[in-house]
Structure 1
């Protein structure tokens, strides 16, 4: 592509929820600017949160996919390059490289998401450990799980518990192993965590909290997992749900500022002009929020910025609805460093936990079971995650 930067396209790297939703919002405001999307996978449009509902709904990867890359290209009036990896960013020249091909851009949006954290495991069955981070991952695991029944899940965080609930409802036997003393330790106080665990156990889940998986060996047609406390667990498949890490390697190599994620300002601009980051890979004023609500707030703000109306992103209260229907859960964790005390009330699995400051201000909550009905009232009391800035009076052209 030899276009000058003035006539070059908006380039979006990534066709997940962040990339496709940005493209849709951008096209509502600008139907003419050339749009190029680049993705390492097949470019199918799908909702990533649905990956942890597929077994309960008995849906394979094709059923979870909503539109093909070709259909999305027509809808968005865009060129979409699938199975294509960007190998280098060159912000000073306003171009990216695909192998030996330079691609110029007017503006670049990095929306390539996060990657699963892999844990080293000894033994001869590492290929039986499946991360599930996108539709292709889900499809591979779905094929491997056909005819099997015993699944070991590494991790008892949000994703691990969601997959456990889904697989249990899909008829599988599920065991969770994690080096923590409760489920979702970074999100929940002990009492709501115990409620979620009880709910999953009522479906048949087994928990081994504290040890880690040290070794995975093949045993005829099955697997045997050796834990660090000496326990052995027979299983057929292993799901890795130990967490996600924002993809920052190419950005760092290009000289962009990175921390946990790619550092961006309130306009989602990186340390380089005309380069933006959005979604799981972006760190906005120290916040790296791997959830749909902050991503959609960024989508709406960035689409306006890219069409000439500089718009800083802001995050209001952003509760997280966790897909554990056996024990419904909505949580709004207090910001890191918040000073306060958890107070819990309720019975059984119907709990309301409030995190309040010394002056009584509500800074976070966790609701389980029937108590989730109180979320709207509590949301009105929460402070914003990232406060709205005063109105920006001047407009900036993205070109």
Structure 2
């Protein structure tokens, strides 16, 4: 019997790799192993679900059984991978051992959790999966059936003013919750946006009601004795906030536990070449757990889509190198819509505003290497892509 292609991970990367492979190869057996249910959903939709009035169940676009049937994949859900033996090409799992012809690792990333004091530190939530969102959603909607007014006044403290933190802040504030955002920097999404655009986003969200606490961090989270379920949040600058939920959105770190234990070369992610092969023969990887050629990590949707297409061709017997075009990122902040195409890491240059709602990143020769657009000017995305060299 032919050994299958085994895919570990049922997120966007794992399922997209399976779907792209099936476009080219209808017969090679594929086994997809995941620790969760395997239901397909778009992870970016987690950060704007409240405004769309979508609960966890409504976010599932295709149930796992339907995905497995349509892609002719054998699915092992709720199954833990315990080890990979790259010499014998064997995957050991909680459901037994399986030998692979080729292996695809789509293990994703895990939320960064900073050490924190307080008797409610463990109550701080992170959202990186549908299950995480289910817990968050339940915490915020508890009691909504009997007391909608009280629920609408619930206060969420968000740790982190990066892309995800700002998207959640906009989603929650527009859905009637009170929102405070705590970040050690001076402006939102400072790692991606020019300072002037960051200031505009800060003002736009503040006008909606978001309370910013820049230049400080959360030091401790404790239970509030006077009110069941409530929390007190102690900031490093001495301020104290009360909250119903504390959400940590300070970033993700590649999930490398399995890869490292298997002897694969890892740095910031699993190191892959331009064909997405790891340091082991017949073992490939894509998605948030990967460090692509050139040392880049790219935790966004479009890199996954391009990677999956190239990898599918390679798995189908047509070795293909992945090539990434310029991939602008649309930030879901309706208070001020933003599209940004940052320059490649290591590019020396500077941001400058070239007109209303338009910023350009130019290098020392004045060549355009990136851009950022805001408001109605996000419609100029295709035009600006053509200017980047």
Task: Pick from 352, 362, 366 the counterpart of residue 356 of structure 1.
Answer: 362
Q: Aligned equivalents of 1:128 and 1:320: distance in 2?
A: 31
Distance in 2 separating the partners of 1:161 and 1:381? 28
Task: State how far apart, in whole Å, the 1-side matches of 2:363 and 2:96 are.
Answer: 55
Query: Which of 118, 126, 129 does residue 124 from structure 2 map onto?
Result: 129
SS in 2 for 1:353: strand
Choose the corresponding residue for 1:152, options 153, 157, 169: 157
Offset of residue 306 of structure 1: 0.3
Report the counterpart of residue 305 of structure 1 in structure 2.
Answer: 314
Counterpart of 2:85 in structure 1 is 90
TM-score in terms of structure 1 length? 0.92
Select which of 185, 190, 197 maps to 2:195.
190
Determine the C-alpha separation between the residues in 1 that align with 2:119 and 2:363: 51
Alignment of 1:1-399 (within 5 A): 7-99=2-94, 101-146=96-141, 147=143, 148=151, 149-219=154-224, 220-221=227-228, 222-285=230-293, 286-346=295-355, 350-383=356-389
User: Which secondary structure state, in structure 2, belongs to the residue aligned with residue 295 of structure 1?
Assistant: helix
TM-score if structure 2 supplies the norm length?
0.94
Counterparts of 2:162 and 2:57, CA distance in 1:
27
User: Does the Cα contact within 8 Å between 2:50 and 2:171 map onto a contact in 1?
Assistant: yes
Q: Give SS of 1:11's match.
A: strand
**CA displacement 1:59-114 (0-9 Å, x = unmatched):** 11100001221111111111111111101111111111104822111110000100
Which consecutive residues of structure 1, in runs of 5 or more, have no partner in the other structure? 384-399
**SS at the partner of 1:42?**
coil
Corresponding position of 2:147: none
Gaps of 5+ in 2: 144-150
Cα distance in 2 between the residues matched to 1:169 and 1:341: 34
State the superposition RMSD in angstroms. Answer: 1.2
1:219-245: CA deviation from partner (whole Å, max 9, x where unpaired): 122111000110000111011100000
After TM superposition, which residue ranges in structure 1, 4 or more long, deviate above 2 angstroms? none
